Amino acid sequence: MRKLLLLLAVCSATLTACQSQSENMPLLDNVSSISVSESKGYGGLNENYFVTFNEPEVIWRFKNIIKEAEPTKKDITNETPNYDILVRYQNGDTHGLHLLLGDEGEDSIFMYIGKEKNAYFVSPEDTGKLAKLIDVK
């Protein structure tokens, strides 16, 4: 009986740990700013930012869009990113992202710079929100 209970406890702990892994795009808390530049392609971050957001409301909207992005196995490395995004945290850490911004009514795609084969889809609704945030006409 004790062996059965131990086995059940181990199985439950394993299943719980597997379920707690996030499928969405990981992003740390305490973002201090988000900067956006036109991308020059994969492998680097263009540091000539045309806008930097420091306002908590705008950062919150950006974070929610990024966190809601869903992973995909589709290889999109044959498409060129439109924008590079630098997410800066209060502790000084940063994340670099590429963004392929879709047209109105289309998905967009985020990727971490250096991990371009791990793409995350953004819904058409959030694509519209992104375009408004970075003031794309």
Side-chain-facing half-sphere of 60: CA atoms under 13 Å: 3
- Predicted local confidence at residue 73, as pLDDT: 80
Parent domain of 48: 31-134
Residue 8 lies in a domain: no
Give residue-wise pLDDT tens across range 77-130.
788 899 999 999 999 999 899 999 999 999 999 998 888 788 899 999 999 999
Residue 117 lies in a domain: yes
Residue 71 lies in a domain: yes
- Give dist(CA 99, CA 116) in Å, integer: 10
Q: What share of the chain is helix, strand, coil (3-state, %, to 5)?
A: 30, 25, 45
Residue 121 lies in a domain: yes
Closest CA to 34 of 87, 70, 83, 79: 87
Residue 112 lies in a domain: yes
CATH code of the domain covering residue 108: 2.60.40.4400
pTM for the full predicted model: 0.77
